[in-house]
Structure 1
Amino acid sequence: MQLNPGWLFKVLVTLEAEADAPEPASLPTDLPRLRRWLAMRRWPERRLNELVKVQAAIKSGRERQIRWTESHTYASPRVAALVVVLVALGVTQSTLTFTREPERAAPLGCTQGQLRLTGSTAFRQAVTDVARAYEKHCLGQVTIDTDEENFEGSDAGMTSLDTAGKAHKGEGGLPDQVTFSDTRKPPQYTALLAKPVALSLFTLVVNKDTGVHDLNRKQILDLYAGDVTNWKDVGGNDVPVRLVSRNPDSGTRTVLEQKVLAKGQRLLATTVRSCVEIPAKEAGRCEVKDTSTLLRTVAATDGALGHSELGAARRSTDVIPVRIEGIEPNSASVTQNLYPYWDTEYAYTYKTPPAESPAAAFLRFLSANESGAALLREKGFQPCVDFASPLKCSP
């Protein structure tokens, strides 16, 4: 038989005993039994070569040593190693499958995308907390931008929303922006739609050295008209009055002018460009851009009087919230029409956003009693769902 280079050829060998071999009748004829036969007689296995002689020859080509071959019941070392690896992989995969936490689908009412919130600085902290809760509720599928620069006041927020809506190229309402305002929209924003969210309570705040905890309506009017310039004239300490106010875009300021001051009364003109420029021991008025800055300024300025969202004022331990006519600001006093400094907080959208948009989904979460509404209560706001007529949202 001719073999090509690299080919292997197996030969089946039949064992036969020679005439002078020991115990020829009992000599096994297969290799395994032959080995056992040698072992029983305690002969060394090298006797195998003496008992069995292999004679073979290759007529042509390169001769190689002819080696013993025999059957193997078990797998070769390479195959055995491969089996071990596959078993290990299988065990690892099974362990991961049964121990890892299963992926969860986002709950109903969630959507994917991005949302930008703008508007009232007084409402920023509360709505930011709701936004973080909504992101967690939706397993991170929606991202909500609540950066401080987004909240520059109610009027500024509505202007931003109107501009973004007009630039929107898609059909329907703007899907990714909601603006919060302490007041109703101006008439020029015809495309903005209001949704009542909560009842907002506000309060006057004073520096601790004023010695004042309560003011009646006439005293408040005189202070903001500039007729009273020292706190001793309203039962306080001998300290000049410094009025720290929000800028004209502020909803908190607008509500003060509309519901607390006399009809048509506006705040005095500012006397300095910055609150730190008010001369010592002199009366004056300055303006700041947001609620947190106002509270810090009132706390740091002798004789300061300001106005703030109630929850933020109560969280600040460096200022004193002022009662009006002896009435504490709370939901009960508002419901009984005893406390004047309050208004409805509105969420504005540009037209009606698509039902599955981030804007629409977030507003549904914000109004839900067991989610957004509960967080608003924690921040001192009374959600509109608490009223008999949520769309009216008024005592």
Structure 2
Amino acid sequence: MRTLGVELNFNNVVAIFSVAIPVLAFVWEFVVIRRKRLGYRLQMDTLATDTAHAPSADVLARMRDDGHELVEPSFVLVRIENAGWREIVPGDYLTPPDDKTGIRVLFRDRRVVGMAVTELSQPTLRHFFVTTRDGRTQETDGFGKDWEDGVGVIRLPKVTLNPGAHYKILAVLERRGGNAHASFPPPEFQAAVTGGMDHSFAWVRWLARLKLAHTESHTFASRPAVGGLALLAAAVLVQASLTLFFPAKPAPLDCVGGTLYLSGSTAFAPAVTAAAKEYTKLCSAKGAHIPVDDGTFVNSTDGITRLEQAGADAGIKGNDGLRNRITFSDGLSQGKHDQLLPRPVVYTLFTLVVNEDAQVRNLSLQQVRDIYAGKVKFWSQVGGKPGLPIHLINRNVGSGTRNALEQRVLGNKSVPAAKVADCTALNEDQYGVCEVTGTDSLLQAVSKDPGGIGYSEVSSVPSGNLVKLEIDGMPPTLVGVEQGTYPYWQTEYAYTFGEPPAGSIAAAFLRYLTDQGGKDILREYGNRPCSETRYPLVCRPT
């Protein structure tokens, strides 16, 4: 896909974002946030009793208030400033209109004894702190000190501050809590201002409501920092430009591009789908694409049919192979397919699943055969819930999971034919049989039917009300298969139409599954890669 003359592949999109994100961050920081930024600096917070720097400092420790000597007195110097580029006015402070205080500074374990405004960047700011009433100079309503629930409070008024304007407050405090000589908790500053946007940018105004910011001595950055940022921005622009207009196209050694179409077993679908996603991610630079949707995997027989039809449609003859098709089958296909080549990939583990309402967790192999032969029709006959009939929920003909059940568990006996077309139509008081088309459909049907029993690849069974049955006391595990104590497993084969060309995506994906990172993904889904068995071409438990 090309837009404005630029190929929009993954690397180019990353390059575009590498330019766009810093630009947007700059606009946000210096156009939105810094429009109005109320900041503070705690320039001093020290004990008057600290004699480390001057032996005569103990004189300060003898300060008194109302006749009593202050307990561990301390001095605090706070600077409040406008660190933005727009004026801060009283209406910008996020407090109720009738509250004259705009900022509160809290001192836990300390009481504020007295305070004074020590520095004003503009003399006219004095009127925000003091006023004349009845011929006496007094503090304004928004300026003062309080004692609230064991916390000393300095209240600062809603001061109008031009960009860069500031004022400082010097306060004397004494200990009123905590352990003697222990460090005081740091002051807590409480204030916020709005972004100051007009109504046309109301959404930005809402986003830009800011808390009081802790500012440093430089409101932006030092000159060396500015120079470093400029060099960094230049480097990013150069790198992004090279990526966009002079793109490199690296590719992993074994990657092959193109589109690969998969089909076949629904039981094996989760594992091979995960491997396909990882392959396309690794080989995206080569344009590898493996589409997977709800109709990709139907059953093993359907996959064989699709593969043969694709070969016929492509006119493949002689020793040529189809380069873009693979189908997966639970076990060898039962028909005659002279032009198809099977390759063992893994042997996979299956399990019988029952609804937990059946109250059964273990069956003997003979009990399983009797259930599928119709000799046992109620769960109470095998130690389950009294009065609950058994409902066999089978896969349709052509399912490799069903074939594996008949071959390895039922002694080559077929499962009974379905009596109804819809599993929800089974009589809840009678033994019954129905069929579904896929693994997910089977698991959902068993989950909804209290007397349901079905079968699935082990890793596909979700948590919930489904029970993985033990057979003769053996849980469904690869260890049980390899020890010969658990019977329900099958070799998974990858079928191709002829031998896929060495440089085709079909051949590359098969190599990935059998000899590269794909086999690690298959192992995560409870399969045993054939390459890890004693005889890989046979791929059976030893």
Give TM class, smaller chain: 0.7 to 0.9
Listed as ranges, the matches of 1:32-71 within 5 Å are none
Determine if the alignment matches structure 1 residue 359 to structure 2 residue 500: no
What is the rounded CA distance, in whole Å, between the counterparts of 1:346 and 1:95 in structure 2? 49
Listed as ranges, the matches of 1:173-188 within 5 Å are 173-188=321-336
Higher mean displacement: 323-332 or 101-110:
101-110
**Cα deviation 1:61-91 (Å, max 9, x = unaligned):** xxxxxxxxxxxxxxxxxxxxxxxxxxxxxx9
What is the rounded CA distance, in whole Å, between the counterparts of 1:299 and 1:97 in structure 2? 58
Cα distance, 1:335 vs structure 2: 1.1
Please tell me the residue identity of whatever aligns with 1:220.
Answer: V
Q: 1:194 aligns with which of 338, 342, 346?
A: 342
Cα distance, 1:262 vs structure 2: 2.9
Aligned pair in 2 of structure 1 residues 275, 187: CA closer, same or farther (>3 Å)? Answer: closer
| Matching residue of 1:53 | none
Structure with greater contact order relative to length (CA < 8 Å, sep ≥ 6): 1
Contact 1:207 1:318 in 2 (8 A): yes
Task: Structure 2: state its 5+ residue gaps.
Answer: 1-231
Determine if the alignment matches structure 1 residue 375 to structure 2 residue 521: yes
What is the rounded CA distance, in whole Å, between the counterparts of 1:272 and 1:227 in structure 2? 19
Contact 2:298 2:437 in 1 (8 A): yes
Identify, as 1 or 2, the structure richer in strand: 2
Cα distance, 1:221 vs structure 2: 1.0
Cα distance, 1:126 vs structure 2: 0.6
| Matching residue of 1:79 | none
| Sequence identity percentage | 42
Which structure: larger Rg? 1
What is the rounded CA distance, in whole Å, between the counterparts of 1:285 and 1:274 in structure 2? 10
Contact 1:344 1:394 in 2 (8 A): yes
**Cα deviation 1:332-363 (Å, max 9, x = unaligned):** 11111111111100000000011111111111
Cα distance, 1:318 vs structure 2: 2.6
Contact 1:201 1:330 in 2 (8 A): yes
Please tell me the residue identity of whatever aligns with 2:501.
Answer: P
| Matching residue of 2:380 | 232
What is the rounded CA distance, in whole Å, between the counterparts of 1:251 and 1:295 in structure 2? 16
Contact 2:347 2:491 in 1 (8 A): yes
Cα distance, 1:99 vs structure 2: 5.3
| Matching residue of 2:304 | 158
Aligned pair in 2 of structure 1 residues 155, 95: CA closer, same or farther (>3 Å)? Answer: closer
Please tell me the residue identity of whatever aligns with 1:249.
Answer: G
Q: 2:425 aligns with which of 265, 277, 281?
A: 277
| Matching residue of 1:340 | 487
Listed as ranges, the matches of 1:113-262 within 5 Å are 113-139=258-284, 141-169=287-315, 172-238=320-386, 239-262=388-411
Cα distance, 1:96 vs structure 2: 2.7
| Matching residue of 1:98 | 239
What is the rounded CA distance, in whole Å, between the counterparts of 1:317 and 1:195 in structure 2? 35
Please tell me the residue identity of whatever aligns with 1:158.
Answer: I
Determine if the alignment matches structure 1 residue 384 to structure 2 residue 534: no
Contact 2:330 2:400 in 1 (8 A): yes
Aligned pair in 2 of structure 1 residues 170, 255: CA closer, same or farther (>3 Å)? Answer: closer
| Matching residue of 1:39 | none
Please tell me the residue identity of whatever aligns with 1:306.
Answer: G
Aligned to 2:406, the other structure's residue is in SS state: helix
What is the rounded CA distance, in whole Å, between the counterparts of 1:95 and 1:201 in structure 2? 51
What is the rounded CA distance, in whole Å, between the counterparts of 1:331 and 1:219 in structure 2? 22
Please tell me the residue identity of whatever aligns with 2:237.
Answer: L
**Cα deviation 1:132-151 (Å, max 9, x = unaligned):** 00000002511102222121
What is the rounded CA distance, in whole Å, between the counterparts of 1:217 and 1:196 in structure 2? 27
What is the rounded CA distance, in whole Å, between the counterparts of 1:98 and 1:227 in structure 2? 74
What is the rounded CA distance, in whole Å, between the counterparts of 2:415 and 2:236 in structure 1? 71
Task: Structure 1: state its 5+ residue gaps.
Answer: 1-90
Cα distance, 1:170 vs structure 2: 5.5
What is the rounded CA distance, in whole Å, between the counterparts of 2:248 and 2:431 in structure 1? 63
Cα distance, 1:281 vs structure 2: 1.9
What is the rounded CA distance, in whole Å, between the counterparts of 1:366 and 1:330 in structure 2? 22
Aligned to 2:327, the other structure's residue is in SS state: strand
Aligned pair in 2 of structure 1 residues 92, 329: CA closer, same or farther (>3 Å)? Answer: closer
Aligned to 2:384, the other structure's residue is in SS state: coil
What is the rounded CA distance, in whole Å, between the counterparts of 1:191 and 1:328 in structure 2? 39
What is the rounded CA distance, in whole Å, between the counterparts of 1:279 and 1:186 in structure 2? 34
**Cα deviation 1:195-241 (Å, max 9, x = unaligned):** 11111110100001000000001111110111111100000102110
Tell me the TM-score normalised to structure 2 length: 0.54
Aligned pair in 2 of structure 1 residues 356, 212: CA closer, same or farther (>3 Å)? Answer: same
* Count, aligned residues: 302
Cα distance, 1:93 vs structure 2: 8.2
What is the rounded CA distance, in whole Å, between the counterparts of 1:380 and 1:95 in structure 2? 45
Tell me the TM-score normalised to structure 1 length: 0.73
What is the rounded CA distance, in whole Å, between the counterparts of 2:494 and 2:482 in structure 1? 22
Q: 2:414 aligns with which of 235, 254, 266?
A: 266
Task: Compute the RMSD of aligned alpha carbons.
Answer: 1.8
Aligned to 1:149, the other structure's residue is in SS state: coil
**Cα deviation 1:282-304 (Å, max 9, x = unaligned):** 21010000001111110001110
Listed as ranges, the matches of 1:15-34 within 5 Å are none
